[in-house]
Amino acid sequence: MSQPPAIKDITHFVKECHKHKKEAWIAGSIKKDELPDLWATDVDVICVRGAACVQKDNGRFGEVQAKIVAELVKTMPLR
């Protein structure tokens, strides 16, 4: 099965950053279920805010909860 174009684009972005000795950071409405595929691109940092919040109608303005953050951390590969 082929990767969605967005993942291919992110993978290319990461490779270009690393080729130029730069870290690759990404952000933007990222959800927990997207994290494993994003980590697989070898990205250095994934910025999340909304995914770390209690989801009501507040999105990224909701309250960050340690339990949710702990679940997000579990998606990180060991390096």
- Can you spell out the DSSP letters for 5-73? HHHHHHHHHHHHHHHTT---EEESS--GGGHHHHHTTT-SEEE-SGGGB--SS-GGGS-B-HHHHHHHH
In a domain, 78, yes or no: no
- Count: domains in the chain: 1
The residue range of the domain holding 41 is 5-73
Q: 66, exposed or middle or buried, with CB in 10 Å at 0-12, 13-18, 19+?
A: exposed
Q: In this model, does residue 78 exceed pLDDT 60?
A: yes
In a domain, 69, yes or no: yes
Q: What pLDDT score was predicted for residue 46?
A: 95
User: Whole-model pTM?
Assistant: 0.81
Residue 56: pLDDT band with limits 50, 70, 90 = low
